[in-house]
Structure 1
Amino acid sequence: MKKIFIILALILPLGAVQAISLDSLFAKKTAHLPEFSVVDINGKTHNNDTVKGKYLVINFWATWCPPCLKEIPAFVEFYDKNSAMVEILGMDYEQANKEKIKEFTETFMVNYPIILSDNNNQSEFSKFGEIVGMPTTVVYAPDGSLAEYFMGEISMKDLEKATHIK
């Protein structure tokens, strides 16, 4: 019994430190859509003006991330149904070759813009807050306010709830 109390005494402070550090990380997320400008793999620029009046869903992902790959069909379906009201930007958080990613998006039938983490876009990624794991999805309302922040795989239902679109 004494060993259990000793173990708990050692573990509980770690949980408190974890909570504090998570709170500080969450505090770093951007409560309002920052000024940004990124270029997708097809050369098209996306910025505050191109998403004005729409929900903006920013998904940080990577090709080596299994939960990221599992959620792609939900993003594809949601964008297919709602692209008039929603813009989705898939922010590929890995140093990857553009041709490899284009091939990947064709295989997965990705229908929304993919942004590479390259010299053109890297500084823009950090404007959306601290990314501590993947996938991470940030949803901004049409007025630019932060609507939702997800860590981990999300579903069609999560996207509908965050954007109030069914």
Structure 2
Amino acid sequence: MLRKFLFSVLIIAGLMAGIVGYSLVRADFTTDDGVSHQWKNYEGQWVVVNYFAQWCAPCLREIPQLNDFYQQYSSDVPMFAISFDAVTPEELAQLKQKFDIQFPLIETVERALPMTKPNSLPATFIIGPDGQVKKQLLGEQTAASLRRAIDILKTL
């Protein structure tokens, strides 16, 4: 009887360890380059997430500025974009090529993102070092406006 009880406890402990271990390594989202990401890896950093759509003219107009921001600041401020519309990985790759998007695109989301899907576009979210949304910017952004917004938020 005691042996069965101990065996049951060991099985339950093993299952619990597996569940905890899986939750520690499970990706929150995957980008179009096949890299898996966890939000906890960005703790202590500012992160920019932009929502866009191919039918949104202002979204397409701001892409060169977002590329500039990414080229200038990605080592300090990781940046991602996500399609407002549900698209396949193949469609996402076509959008990236067609519009010369140079920053990573979120392809699949495994866990809830820190922000909710916006009601209007373009929408850019600035995520603070604590993993929480600090600001939602609506409308076209420039590399300078993004940098300025982050600099202002850092002083608060």
AA partner of residue 128 (structure 1): M
1:114 aligns with 2:105: yes
Q: Structure 1 residues 122 and 137 mapped into 2: Cα distance closer, same or farther (>3 Å)?
A: farther
2:39 paired residue among 48, 51, 54: 48
For residue 144 of structure 1, what is the aligned residue in structure 2? 131
Q: Structure 1 residues 97 and 144 mapped into 2: Cα distance closer, same or farther (>3 Å)?
A: closer
5+ long unaligned stretches in structure 1:
1-35
User: Percentage identity across aligned positions?
Assistant: 25
Contact 2:50–2:82 (CA under 8 A) maintained in structure 1: yes
For residue 13 of structure 1, what is the aligned residue in structure 2? none
Structure 2 residue matching 1:49: 3-state secondary structure: helix
The Cα shift of 1:141 comes to: 2.4
The Cα shift of 1:108 comes to: 2.7
For residue 75 of structure 1, what is the aligned residue in structure 2? 66
Aligned residues: 126
TM-score (norm 1): 0.66
For residue 20 of structure 2, what is the aligned residue in structure 1? none
Structure 1 vs Structure 2 CA RMSD: 2.3
Q: Structure 1 residues 83 and 55 mapped into 2: Cα distance closer, same or farther (>3 Å)?
A: same
| CA distance, structure 1, for counterparts of residue 43 and residue 97 of structure 2 | 27
AA partner of residue 74 (structure 1): Q
AA partner of residue 143 (structure 2): M
| CA distance, structure 2, for counterparts of residue 130 and residue 61 of structure 1 | 11
5 Å-filtered alignment, 1:1-166, equals: 37-116=28-107, 120-121=108-109, 124-125=112-113, 127-129=114-116, 131-164=118-151
Runs of 4+ in 1 over 6 A off after TM superposition: none
Structure 2 residue matching 1:58: 3-state secondary structure: strand
The Cα shift of 1:110 comes to: 1.8
For residue 9 of structure 2, what is the aligned residue in structure 1? none
Structure 2 residue matching 1:50: 3-state secondary structure: helix
Structure 2 residue matching 1:60: 3-state secondary structure: strand
| CA distance, structure 1, for counterparts of residue 50 and residue 39 of structure 2 | 16
Q: Structure 1 residues 122 and 45 mapped into 2: Cα distance closer, same or farther (>3 Å)?
A: closer
The Cα shift of 1:71 comes to: 0.9
5+ long unaligned stretches in structure 2:
1-26
Determine which structure has more spread, i.e. the larger CA radius of gyration.
2
Contact 1:58–1:91 (CA under 8 A) maintained in structure 2: yes
Contact 2:80–2:106 (CA under 8 A) maintained in structure 1: yes
| CA distance, structure 1, for counterparts of residue 39 and residue 110 of structure 2 | 17
Q: Structure 1 residues 161 and 107 mapped into 2: Cα distance closer, same or farther (>3 Å)?
A: same
